[in-house]
Amino acid sequence: MKINEIFLLLALLAEIIGTIGGFGSSVFFVPLGNFYFDFYSVLGLTALFHLSSNLSKIFLFKKGLDKFLLLYIGVPSVFFVILGGYLSKIIDSSYLEVILGIFLVALSLLFIIKKNLIIPPQKKQSMIGGALSGFTAGLLGTGGAIRGLTMAAFNLEKSVFIATSAFIDFMIDFSRTFVYYQNGYIHQHDLIYVPFLLVIGLIGTFIGKKILHYIPQQKFKVISLVFILIIGIITLVNFFK
């Protein structure tokens, strides 16, 4: 099978932007991957890609983890990513692509319009945010934006925010990898990309960390949201052609 270099370059850009913006790379990787693979293959590749990506973030941003968030956001995320992963097999993939496009457009517009939107930093809200982010990660392949919104309420130091988010994401990806494997989403012919994606996860996170020192995160988040909006619109346009 021939390697698509453009796809790998886009994966690197997704990892860099995802690290800087704080949303994680899947919000970019999933819709971009849909241009090259079927939706289910993208889900399988995303889970494998994120395992290495999040290990890199945990290592590079190792200034402590927030145990409260690991418990009240992480645990519900794991339970609901398994549920979302199994439901993804029941729902037709074409509908999932439409849902993904609507999800990206709605979420990006919400964050762009409501710049100061936060979720109260309480146990109940944290568990709901964790459940929603896990469920969308399992069903659509991406839930980092919801988790980021939930965690933003706690005003964490930047490196603690990224490390904690990455650890929760790692728990999510580890769980859904088994579900996606059982669902048949991890295909033999796609595994040729895995070694490249493992390296890209490390390099992209490293570059993203370096850039974070020079670009205000809030400004870059606006740029990231515009990219998410555009990708969401393109996803919907391609479906309704």
DSSP letter, residue 234: H
- At 17 the pLDDT is 83
Q: Under a CB-based contact definition with an 8 Å cutoff, are residues 139 and 65 in contact?
A: no
**What's the token pair of residue 41?**
């293959």
Give pLDDT tens digits for 178-225: 899 888 888 888 888 888 988 898 898 889 878 877 777 667 667 777
- Residues 25 and 53 sit within 8 Å (Cβ to Cβ): yes
**Distance between CA atoms of residues 190 and 210, nearest Å:** 31
Q: What is the mean pLDDT of residues 163-184?
A: 86
Please say if the pLDDT value at position 110 is more than 90: no
Percentage of residues in the chain with pLDDT exceeding 90? 8
Average pLDDT over residues 211-240: 76
57-76: pLDDT as tens digits: 777 766 667 788 889 989 99
Proportion of the chain above pLDDT 70, given as a percent = 92
Helix axis angle, 194-212 relative to 39-60, nearest 10°? 50
Region 81-108 average pLDDT: 85
Whole-angstrom distance, CA of residue 198 vs CA of residue 203: 9
pLDDT, residue 75, reads 92
Average pLDDT score over residue span 23-35: 81
Q: Helix (H, G, I), strand (E, B), or coil: what is residue 121?
A: coil
C-alpha 46/C-alpha 170 separation (Å) is 12
In whole angstroms, how far apart are CA 85 and each of 110, 194, 212? Answer: 25, 20, 32
